[in-house]
Amino acid sequence: MKLSTRGRYGLRAMFDLAMNESQGPIPLNEIADRQNISESYLEQLFAILRREGLVNSVRGAHGGYLLGASPNEIYIGQILRTLEGDIAPADCVRNEDVAGCMDADACVTRIIWEKIRDSINQVIDSITLEDMVNQQRLINSKKGSNSSKDDWVIRCNN
């Protein structure tokens, strides 16, 4: 019942972009360094995110990636779903593989999976990247003067 690294790394990388929005295009190696994620793996993830319009790319020297919309328009649900597919505890409650669960209406466990799915979606579809950025800045300001530029960097791989 864990998210895969796709979703977890992807969210961190998008959050990284949001924190650096004003800096122009951010090259992947910067994100990879800051977040301690393999650059070539990130390339895969960003290819997916780009197809979905969640990021824009700028090719060539001094290129990099930009958010595809303002941080307050990007919900983390979009990010996670793009990278992981529908978030659900069982296949029979994913839109994708509507997986012929015959008699679905009469299936009590299905009702449980639906409730779990819906409660997850309610969380991830109510938080934007902007929310995350604001929360991070609040945390940093509370830490006071000894906060460095990279205080917001997420070090662990979760």
Partner DNA sequence: TTAAAGTATAGTAAATTAGTCGGGATTCGG
Partner DNA sequence: CCGAATCCCGACTAATTTACTATACTTTAA
Nearer to DNA, 26 or 93 (CB): 26
Binding mask 59-78 for a second copy (x = CB under 8 A): -----------------x--
Q: Residue 39 has which token pair?
A: 């650059």
The dihedrals phi and psi of 67, each to the nearest 5 degrees, come to -60, 145
Q: 63 touches which of DNA, a second copy, none (CB within 5 to 8 A by kind)?
A: DNA
Regarding 89 and contact with DNA (CB under 7 A), the answer is no
Give the integer Cα–Cα distance in Å for 109 and 12.
Answer: 33
Give the integer Cα–Cα distance in Å for 143 and 107.
Answer: 51
Sorted by sequence, the CB contacts under 8 Å of residue 9 that are 6+ apart come out as: 35, 37, 41, 42, 45
Footprint (CB under 7 A) of DNA, residues 51-70? 57-65
Task: Note the residues at the interface with a second copy (CB under 8 A).
Answer: 1-4, 7-8, 11-12, 15, 76, 84, 87-93, 99-103, 105-113, 115-116, 119-120, 122-124, 127, 132, 135-136, 139-140, 143, 151-152, 154-156, 158
